[in-house]
């Protein structure tokens, strides 16, 4: 079974040194953040992940969730107890505001703890992850009464939240939603319809489940502009806050799937269930996107977390498995063979994983810091830029980290050779669990379309120009740093490719949207490489300054140089591909596939 140790040193490097959270004490919730607090939180979370959640990861995969004949759902052995500890220890409250009973710590801190939970047990981590998203959506779109009714218990994790979007006939295209909402005399609605693939739609972890449900009010306009959002609790909440009547909704079945068996993926039947409108009628998508954007960052992080888990176990296997000799002569002559880490091709896979994980972690956390800045900065210009970045970078985080993360978990399996394919070693579970991250919360193709179709052009390209300018600033500031040259050269080159690709899109994507769509995935990959290159240049600059005090900084420079030498070269081929336009892709007639 895979072992997991939270990568506390690297997380603390990013939070304390690279992003210097302690320097943002002007932001709400940051005033108490210092290196000691960060270390304490990460250490504690790491222990919880290692000791409580990781041991349940295989149990969850093997047992899965079971739906009882009465529609109730049993999560795997140990999940309920672990969830109880999770709530009791106050983890969900860490980044919630004081008026909800929370500690008001920064959003970026919860990114770090989410990473740890997802590495230790991705299926488990989804329960609080979705609750957090549903909570944020209610806070963003709900009435004061709704916030008061559901907020505190969702903030603490006493109640769970879900998001109900998909129906059998619609996943990506939510305009096709058929679930109906009929207004009642008391202002509530009766919700009727079937939702599928609802993560945590039913479970035995919490005493109530607050479903956020997209539905169409009778007489609403067709399509996406007729979709409203409703809050539909499993148990109606009485005025005094106690739980009342069981609502007319139920889990009609569990989906059998490739992985994340420990998370209950439910068919949810709403049979005239009582729900309340969240926000304005027909504007449900707007609020749901609050949830989806948070969820998309979370999904990118899940893949990164699975890559970390796979890497740790692959590295461990590589230093312990004895097989063959080094090509340069025995490295362990006293043993029957050398550890396979002596082989360059094994090490190539491990270095690929490190370079991705460390760069991707910096990228995800740096983006999350903009989430804090967007909401908490007192400077409108900072808020605007941070908001621009969040919008621009969310699809990149989601798709780039999951595409690459999935490749990396497969590399981790590959390092294990035949053992990787057996269930015993647990690597194949990591691959199966990670596979969903390329799909849910909008497939990676949808993310790429979002990036080129919406995010690039928004506000006249303000976000991307701001991103380019920040990179140029960094290069300009450090251009005389000879030791940084290899990093700056790499960054300059990949950024120039991204500029080139952006210009191509502006020229060719507007006149023919199919050109933009055809280029979208390669553009997103090129964007991700640029972002990681920027992160690596920043980390290298810091490591060069700090080197000598800790071999950690030397390792960081080695891994960063690997990234520049052996991963960045992929940018060029993405640029060539994105510039082919739609013609080669669309030439074959529909009926000839």
Which residues inside 487-516 make contact with a second copy, applying CB under 8 A? 512-514, 516
Judged by CB under 8 A, the chain residues 60 through 119 that form the site for a second copy are none
Q: Which is nearer to a second copy, 207 or 316 (CB)?
A: 316
Distance, in Å, from the CA atom of 86 to the CA atom of 98, rounded to the nearest integer, reads 19
- Minimum distance of a second copy from residue 465's CB (angstroms): 25
Interface pick for a second copy out of 202, 428, 450, 541 (rule CB under 8 A): 428
Interface pick for a second copy out of 232, 396, 449, 491 (rule CB under 8 A): 449
Interface pick for a second copy out of 424, 470, 472, 550 (rule CB under 8 A): 424
378 contributes a contact to a second copy by CB under 8 A: no
Q: Which is nearer to a second copy, 257 or 462 (CB)?
A: 257
Mode of pairing for the β-strands spanning 66-67 and 265-278: unpaired
558 contributes a contact to a second copy by CB under 8 A: yes
Judged by CB under 8 A, the chain residues 287 through 316 that form the site for a second copy are 315
Q: Are 393 and 297 in contact (CB under 8 A)?
A: no
439 contributes a contact to a second copy by CB under 8 A: yes
Q: At what angle do helices 107-120 and 284-320 cross, to 10 degrees?
A: 50
Interface pick for a second copy out of 443, 457, 500, 546 (rule CB under 8 A): 443
Q: Which is nearer to a second copy, 109 or 526 (CB)?
A: 526
Judged by CB under 8 A, the chain residues 532 through 551 that form the site for a second copy are 551
457 contributes a contact to a second copy by CB under 8 A: no
Structure tokens at 310: 């796979």
Distance, in Å, from the CA atom of 385 to the CA atom of 474, rounded to the nearest integer, reads 17
Interface pick for a second copy out of 66, 496, 510, 585 (rule CB under 8 A): 585
Rounded to 5°, the CA angle 249-251-253 comes to 150
Q: Are 162 and 134 in contact (CB under 8 A)?
A: yes
Interface pick for a second copy out of 9, 47, 348, 485 (rule CB under 8 A): 348
Q: Are 113 and 41 in contact (CB under 8 A)?
A: yes
- Minimum distance of a second copy from residue 14's CB (angstroms): 18
Determine the interface stretch with a second copy among 250-258, 359-367, 384-392, 539-547 (rule: CB under 8 A): 250-258
Q: Which is nearer to a second copy, 45 or 340 (CB)?
A: 340
- Residues contacting 390, CB < 8 A, separation 6+: 293, 367, 370, 371, 374
**Exactly one of 167, 202, 441, 541 is catalytic; which is it?**
441
**What is the per-residue DSSP string for 501-526?**
HHHHHHHHTTT-HHHHHHHHHHHHHH
Interface pick for a second copy out of 111, 431, 491, 543 (rule CB under 8 A): 431
- Minimum distance of a second copy from residue 577's CB (angstroms): 5
SS3 state of residue 104: coil
- In the chain, what is the straight-line distance between the N-terminal and C-terminal CA atoms, in Å? 43
Structure tokens at 402: 């999951």
Structure tokens at 79: 């999940």
Judged by CB under 8 A, the chain residues 401 through 420 that form the site for a second copy are 406, 410, 413-414, 417-418, 420
Determine the interface stretch with a second copy among 30-38, 86-94, 242-250, 444-452 (rule: CB under 8 A): 444-452
- Minimum distance of a second copy from residue 92's CB (angstroms): 27
Q: How much is the CA Rg of the chain, to the nearest whole Å?
A: 24
270 contributes a contact to a second copy by CB under 8 A: no
**What is the per-residue DSSP string for 111-167?**
HHHHHHHHHH-HHHHHHHHHHHHHHHHHHHHS-HHHHHHHHHHHHHTSEEEEEE--B
Q: Are 36 and 214 in contact (CB under 8 A)?
A: no
258 contributes a contact to a second copy by CB under 8 A: yes
Interface pick for a second copy out of 436, 456, 535, 540 (rule CB under 8 A): 436
Size of the residue set binding a second copy (CB under 8 A): 93
For residue 487, the 8-state DSSP code is H
460 contributes a contact to a second copy by CB under 8 A: no
Judged by CB under 8 A, the chain residues 168 through 197 that form the site for a second copy are 169-173, 176, 197
Interface pick for a second copy out of 296, 376, 435, 495 (rule CB under 8 A): 435
Q: Which is nearer to a second copy, 372 or 441 (CB)?
A: 441
Mode of pairing for the β-strands spanning 208-217 and 159-164: parallel
Distance, in Å, from the CA atom of 254 to the CA atom of 198, rounded to the nearest integer, reads 9
Q: Could you give the dihedral angle defined by the CA atoms of residues 48, 49, 54 and 57, in that order, rounded to the nearest 10 degrees?
A: 110
- Minimum distance of a second copy from residue 211's CB (angstroms): 18
Distance, in Å, from the CA atom of 496 to the CA atom of 426, rounded to the nearest integer, reads 41
- Minimum distance of a second copy from residue 124's CB (angstroms): 18
Q: Which is nearer to a second copy, 239 or 256 (CB)?
A: 256
Judged by CB under 8 A, the chain residues 316 through 345 that form the site for a second copy are 318-319, 322-324, 327-328, 336-337, 339, 341-345
Determine the interface stretch with a second copy among 45-53, 225-233, 381-389, 575-583 (rule: CB under 8 A): 575-583
- Minimum distance of a second copy from residue 436's CB (angstroms): 5
Interface pick for a second copy out of 48, 91, 553, 562 (rule CB under 8 A): 562
Interface pick for a second copy out of 256, 334, 480, 511 (rule CB under 8 A): 256
259 contributes a contact to a second copy by CB under 8 A: yes
Query: Is 88 exposed, middle or buried (CB count within 10 Å of its CB: 0-12, 13-18, 19+)?
Result: exposed
Does 308 participate in catalysis according to the annotation? no
- Minimum distance of a second copy from residue 557's CB (angstroms): 9
Q: Which is nearer to a second copy, 82 or 430 (CB)?
A: 430
Q: Which secondary structure element, helix H or strand E, spans residue 366, and what is its range?
A: helix 344-376
359 contributes a contact to a second copy by CB under 8 A: no
- Minimum distance of a second copy from residue 254's CB (angstroms): 11
Q: Are 165 and 228 in contact (CB under 8 A)?
A: no
Distance, in Å, from the CA atom of 503 to the CA atom of 506, rounded to the nearest integer, reads 5
- Minimum distance of a second copy from residue 412's CB (angstroms): 12
Distance, in Å, from the CA atom of 393 to the CA atom of 396, rounded to the nearest integer, reads 5
Q: Residue 69 to residues 8, 66, 95, 202: CA-CA distances in angstroms?
A: 44, 10, 38, 13
Q: Residue 246 to residues 148, 195, 234, 236, 249: CA-CA distances in angstroms?
A: 20, 18, 6, 6, 8
Judged by CB under 8 A, the chain residues 16 through 55 that form the site for a second copy are none
Interface pick for a second copy out of 145, 185, 381, 587 (rule CB under 8 A): 587
Q: Which residues are catalytic?
A: 441
């Amino acid at each position: 079974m895979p072992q997991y140790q939270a990568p506390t040193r690297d997380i603390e490097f990013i939070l304390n040194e690279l992003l210097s959270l302690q320097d943002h004490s002007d932001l709400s919730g940051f005033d108490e953040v210092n290196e000691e607090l960060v270390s304490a939180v990460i250490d504690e979370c790491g222990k919880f992940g290692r000791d409580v959640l990781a041991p349940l990861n295989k149990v969850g995969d093997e047992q899965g969730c079971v739906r009882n004949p009465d529609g109730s759902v049993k999560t795997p052995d140990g999940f309920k107890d672990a969830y109880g500890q999770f709530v009791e220890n106050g983890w969900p409250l860490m980044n919630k505001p004081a008026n909800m009973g929370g500690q008001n710590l920064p959003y970026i801190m919860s990114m770090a703890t989410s990473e740890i939970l997802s590495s230790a047990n991705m299926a488990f981590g989804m329960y609080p992850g979705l609750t957090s998203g549903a909570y944020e959506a209610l806070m963003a779109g709900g009435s004061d009464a709704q916030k008061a009714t559901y907020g505190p218990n969702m903030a603490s994790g006493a109640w769970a939240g879900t998001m109900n979007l998909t129906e059998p006939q619609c996943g990506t295209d939510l305009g096709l939603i058929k679930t109906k909402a009929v207004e009642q005399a008391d202002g509530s609605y009766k919700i009727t319809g079937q939702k599928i693939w609802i993560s945590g739609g039913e479970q035995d972890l919490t005493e109530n489940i607050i479903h956020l449900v997209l539905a169409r009010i009778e007489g609403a306009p067709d399509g996406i502009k007729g979709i409203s959002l409703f809050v539909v609790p499993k148990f109606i909440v009485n005025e005094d806050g106690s739980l009342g009547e069981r609502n007319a909704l139920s889990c009609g079945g569990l989906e059998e799937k490739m992985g994340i068996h420990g998370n209950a993926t439910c068919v949810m039947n709403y049979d005239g269930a009582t729900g309340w409108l969240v926000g304005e009628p027909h504007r449900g998508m707007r609020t749901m996107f609050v949830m989806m954007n948070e969820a998309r960052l979370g999904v990118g992080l899940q893949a990164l977390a699975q890559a970390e888990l796979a890497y740790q176990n692959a590295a461990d296997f590589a230093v312990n498995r004895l097989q063959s000799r080094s090509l340069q002569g025995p490295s362990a002559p006293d043993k029957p063979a050398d550890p396979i880490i002596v082989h360059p091709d094994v090490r190539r896979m491990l270095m690929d994983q490190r370079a991705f994980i460390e760069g991707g972690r910096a990228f995800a956390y740096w983006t999350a810091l903009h989430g804090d800045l967007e909401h908490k900065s007192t400077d409108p210009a900072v808020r605007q830029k941070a908001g621009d970045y969040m919008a621009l970078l969310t699809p990149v985080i989601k798709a780039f980290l999951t595409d690459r993360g999935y490749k990396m978990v497969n590399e981790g399996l590959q390092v294990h050779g035949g053992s990787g394919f057996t269930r015993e070693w647990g690597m194949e579970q990591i691959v199966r669990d990670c596979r969903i991250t390329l799909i849910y919360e909008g497939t990676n193709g949808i993310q790429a379309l979002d990036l080129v179709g919406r995010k690039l052009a928004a506000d006249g390209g303000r976000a991307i120009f701001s991103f380019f300018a920040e990179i140029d600033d960094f290069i300009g500031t450090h251009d005389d740093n000879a030791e940084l040259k290899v990093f700056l050269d790499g960054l300059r080159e990949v950024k120039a490719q991204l500029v080139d690709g952006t210009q191509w899109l502006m020229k060719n994507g507007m006149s023919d949207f199919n050109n933009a769509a055809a280029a979208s995935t390669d553009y997103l990959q090129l964007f991700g490489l640029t972002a990681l290159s920027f992160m690596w240049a920043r980390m290298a600059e810091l490591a060069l300054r700090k080197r000598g005090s800790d071999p950690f900084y030397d390792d960081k420079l080695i891994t960063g140089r690997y990234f520049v030498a052996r991963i960045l070269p992929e940018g060029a081929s993405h640029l060539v591909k994105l510039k082919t336009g739609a013609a080669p892709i669309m030439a074959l007639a529909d009926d000839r596939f």
